[in-house]
Amino acid sequence: MITNDKRENLSLMEPLTIGADSKHRPELTDLAVELAAKSAGLRRSLPERLLGSLANLVRAMNCYYSNLIEGHDTHPIDIERALKGDYSQDVKKRDLQLEAKAHIAVQRWIDEHGLPTRATTIESIKEIHRRFCEQLPEDLLWVQEPLTKEKTKVVPGELRHRDVQVGRHFPISAPSVPRFLQRYEEAYSTLGKTETLIATAAAHHRLAWIHPFLDGNGRVARLVSHATLLDALDTGAVWSVARGLARNVDEYRSHLAACDLPRLNDLDGRGNLSEANLARFTKFFLSVCLDQVRLMEGLMQPELLRSRILAWADEQVRINKLPSKANKLLEALLYRGELPRGDVAAVVDTGERNARRVVAALDELGVVASESTRAPLRLAFPAALASRWMPGLFPDNNGV
């Protein structure tokens, strides 16, 4: 169904950024500088060979919380099972596992620098949507119009062809979407790193405001923000803004709705939409990012992480779920990041046969991983053990 082009003026989306002369800028600049310093410090503090394993866990976390915002509750343990091909017999739960698997695949592609251009370009936005939706099960690709009950299938990567309503917000007419996305790209894709960081929240809202796709806009907006922060901060993908947004979901939604509102008065910027509300959302967004960096910083403190992991290992040895020398291998991996298989026997001070038994036991529990049967071992962070190794990262009972 094609709708009429209302030829909305591009000024409806202004302001796209918080101007350099805005009274809100000093506070936002300070937050951006602090975030850049904290994020860089976290990245530097982590052993290089632990980054990949931690990023895998954070992808599951990001996926869980981003989908939870949309009302789709798939616990990280079930997400991890899906990544191993272990799906629920319940069709609805299985569909949500497949949705989570699709989300993680797209984020991995982003984390491994697969985006063809900067995240805020039309090409990248459409590609993120395409890659996410083309992996979804059929039942999750249909959208029902609230009034007419007409169902429309979502085409991966395709901009919407009909008008929509999102809560109290009426996004621009469908034929105007390409024009507004072009203006969006012009505004956000050429900024320097500091300006990009300050503008990430604004770009997040304005993409949701345009609502370019029939469905999946929230997930795409959060993936675009993730990719933007990854590029601007070189985060290493070891922390997630989605967790902070989900844990403050009412405030998050309230800010998005406030940013839809028109300018209050002559003191509220120079655009059609409220600059003050956009500044408040920016402050909230950057503060959430800082909270998540601090969380990971606390959880990854070497001595505390070591004590939690080794306490767990000692407990597993006591109940005969791990061989007695397993904790020595874990301790070596914590300090060295990875370990050639030929070194395991010397580390655990036993023969080759017992060394293989230690590795097999740890592998079965998902706490060691390697690229192949001959490749070096590295520590893994399984979601099932997150509550013990990294308490507070995930919910205990499928709640935020």
Domain final residue, candidates 257, 274, 299: 299
Share of the chain above pLDDT 90, in %: 79
CB 245 within 8 Å of CB 400: no
Residue with tokens 């060691």: 368
Residue pLDDT, tens place only, 114-124: 999 999 999 99
Lookup: tokens for 60: 């599951």
- Domain CATH for 322: 1.10.10.10
Residues 352 and 249 placed together within one structural domain of the fold:
no
Neighbours of 165 (CB within 10 A): 12
Residues 192 and 142 placed together within one structural domain of the fold:
yes
Comparing 308 with 335, the larger pLDDT belongs to: 308
Residue pLDDT, tens place only, 14-30: 999 999 999 999 999 99
Residue pLDDT, tens place only, 170-211: 999 999 999 999 999 999 999 999 999 999 999 999 999 999
Residue 394's pLDDT is 84
Residue with tokens 């791990």: 322
pLDDT above 80 for 383:
yes
Residues 379 and 346 placed together within one structural domain of the fold:
yes
Which 3-state string (H, E, C) describes 188-251?
A: HCCCCHHHHHHHHHHHHHHHHHHCCCCCCHHHHHHHHHHHHHHHHHCCCCCCCHHHHHHHCHHH
Comparing 394 with 345, the larger pLDDT belongs to: 345
Neighbours of 147 (CB within 10 A): 7
Domain membership of residue 396 (yes or no) is no
Residues 102 and 177 placed together within one structural domain of the fold:
yes
Residues 236 and 158 placed together within one structural domain of the fold:
yes
Residue with tokens 């893994």: 380
Lookup: tokens for 81: 């099972």
Residue with tokens 């990544």: 83
Residue 88's pLDDT is 94
DSSP state for residue 339 in the 8-state scheme: E
**70-82 average pLDDT score:** 91
Best CA proximity match to 15, nearest among 221, 285, 230, 281 = 281
Residue 400's pLDDT is 44
Half-sphere exposure of 247 toward its Cβ, with a 13 Å CA cutoff? 19
Residue 396's pLDDT is 64
- Domain CATH for 205: 1.10.3290.10
Domain membership of residue 2 (yes or no) is no
Residue 326's pLDDT is 93
Residues 295 and 309 placed together within one structural domain of the fold:
no
**299-323 average pLDDT score:** 93
Per the structure, how many domains does the chain have? 2
Comparing 265 with 284, the larger pLDDT belongs to: 284
Residues 133 and 249 placed together within one structural domain of the fold:
yes
Residue pLDDT, tens place only, 360-379: 999 999 999 998 888 999 99
**297-308 average pLDDT score:** 92
Residues 308 and 385 placed together within one structural domain of the fold:
yes
Give the range of the structural domain holding residue 375, as residue numbers without chain letter.
Answer: 302-389
pLDDT above 80 for 1:
no
CA separation for the pair 175, 314 (Å, rounded): 62
Contacts of 129-134 with CB under 8 Å at 24 or more apart are: 129/156, 129/157, 129/212, 129/213, 129/216, 129/220, 130/156, 130/157, 131/102, 131/105, 131/106, 131/156, 132/102, 132/103, 132/106, 132/156, 132/216, 132/219, 132/220, 132/223, 133/102, 133/157, 133/216
**73-92 average pLDDT score:** 92
Radius of gyration of the chain (CA): 23
Residue 226's pLDDT is 97
Domain final residue, candidates 299, 327, 343: 299
Question: Cβ contacts of residue 31 below 8 Å, gap of 6+?
Answer: 283, 286, 287, 290
Residue 357's pLDDT is 94
Residues 199 and 343 placed together within one structural domain of the fold:
no
Q: How far is CA 78 from CA 95, 136, 380, 382, in A?
A: 12, 16, 17, 11
Domain membership of residue 254 (yes or no) is yes
Residues 252 and 367 placed together within one structural domain of the fold:
no
CB 88 within 8 Å of CB 78: yes
Residue 90's pLDDT is 94
Residue 269's pLDDT is 84
pLDDT above 50 for 398:
no
Residues 16 and 136 placed together within one structural domain of the fold:
yes
**Checking DSSP bridges between strand 338-339 and strand 151-153, what pairing results, if any?**
unpaired
Residue 336's pLDDT is 84
Lookup: tokens for 182: 């072009």
Neighbours of 378 (CB within 10 A): 19
Residue 3's pLDDT is 67
